[in-house]
Amino acid sequence: MRPIIGITSRQPFIETSGGRLRAHVVNEVYTAAVIRSGGTPILLPPVDPDEAPRLLDRLDGLVLSGGGDIDPRLYQGEYHDDMYMIDDSRDLFEFALVKEAQSRKMPALAICRGLQVVNVALGGSLIEDIPSEIGSTDHAVRGPGVVDCHQTVTIAAGTLVAEAIGSTKVCVNSIHHQAVRKVASGLRAAGTTPDGVVEVLDPEDHTWPLLAVQWHPEYLAVKDDPSSLALFGALVENATARATS
């Protein structure tokens, strides 16, 4: 039986026959990676956060996808001119998903914004803008380059991500202008790039199979990147074990 994997969605405006309307979307590369790994994906649009427990009752695993920035008010941060696509309904819904997934120890793969959501939901904070604070411009590649790796991340041995990919060094892509500042209680910074930006979070309690990465393995999977496929494979394997236990 293929496990059911929920994927969080974003809400851009699109042109429709009824005019310019908001839509619930997920890039196809997410669903393709889940299907390829043996899971069945379903879309999770933002709903009332109180619905999170009932939703997770019907899922075997969770992907917290990438997207716009988290409202800085939610981590006592400051607004920056380069922040974009702030969506309070998505923030609060995904915070509820994270807390419920943690309490259930539900398998989860948190990608880019997803890693940041996990960190803020559990009490951490973010660097509002990497270029203006750290000076690095190496983290925001866009266009055709998103399917290629260009940064090396060093990962602590024994962490869930290192175990999933079978290595403590991995070449990744990078499409973000924010990053972890204060690490939330119950998590630890477990992987960094040479400029010190956190690219992996690891739960202190490994009975929660959380894989949290700042890069975008769903894009790298398009080119059969082994480490990226291994992350989705580990999620589906953990979800299958949960579904059949």
Which of 100, 128, 199, 218 is catalytic? The answer is 218
Instruction: Exactly one of 112, 176, 177, 199 is catalytic; name it.
Output: 112
How far is the C-alpha of 56 from the C-alpha of 29, rounded, in Å?
A: 23
Active-site annotation holds for 218: yes
DSSP string, the chain: -PPEEEEE-B--EEEETTEEEE--B--HHHHHHHHHTT-EEEEE----GGGHHHHHHT-SEEEE---SPPPGGGGT----TT-----HHHHHHHHHHHHHHHHHT--EEEETHHHHHHHHHTT--EES-HHHHT---TTB--GGGGGS--EEEEE-TTSHHHHHHT-SEEEE--B-S-EESSPPTTEEEEEE-TT--EEEEEESSTTS-EEEESS-HHHHGGGT-HHHHHHHHHHHHHHHHHHH-
Active site residue 216: yes
Q: Which of 139, 176, 177, 216 is catalytic?
A: 216
Would you name the residues annotated as active-site residues?
Answer: 112, 216, 218
